[in-house]
Amino acid sequence: MSKANEVEDLLNKNSIKDDIEIVDVQYVKENRDWVLRIFIDKDSGITMSDCEKFSYMFSEIVDKSNILQDSYILEVSSPGLNRVLKQEKSFKRFVGSKVRIQTHSSINNQKNFLGQLLNFKNGTVTIDDVTNGVVDINFVDIKKANLETEF
């Protein structure tokens, strides 16, 4: 399990308050520094005050855990417009939105899908793909998924 996944599991186990969803966690080396990025969201949106508040909370939880042995820079922010979709509840929340999905293996000779998210039910994502029309994708077969912003 990666350090990012360990941190994500740790934060999810430590009952996060205020209906905050941990959307994604990244732990990456940039130049000489390790950076821990935690993306959070809630139904009413994330404010700077939320980021500050949860930055202190997350820092305390992660530091006490000793998961990360190196010093790191902590960044807490909203997931942005093209937020990652990793959890089943995120797929359910964004039914009707435009999404981009990449799968581990080919479905009808295709690994990359773009279109409207039609449904999420019984572990299956249904998308109206711009290339092949309606496609069912097993949740476990998804390598990466993001909202796709339309302007």
Looking at residue 14, its pLDDT comes to 77
Question: For the segment 29-57, what is each residue's pLDDT rounded down to a tens digit?
Answer: 999 999 999 999 988 889 999 999 999 99
- Type of residue found at 16: I
Is residue 4 scored above 70 in pLDDT?
Answer: yes
The pTM (predicted TM-score) of the whole model is 0.82
Question: For the segment 108-144, what is each residue's pLDDT rounded down to a tens digit?
Answer: 899 999 999 999 999 999 999 999 999 999 999 999 9
Domains in the chain (CATH in brackets) are 3-77 (3.30.300.70), 88-147 (2.30.30.180)
What mean pLDDT comes out for the span 51-71? 92
Cα(16)–Cα(54) distance, rounded to whole angstroms?
9
Task: Output phi, psi for 139, to 5 deg.
Answer: -55, -40
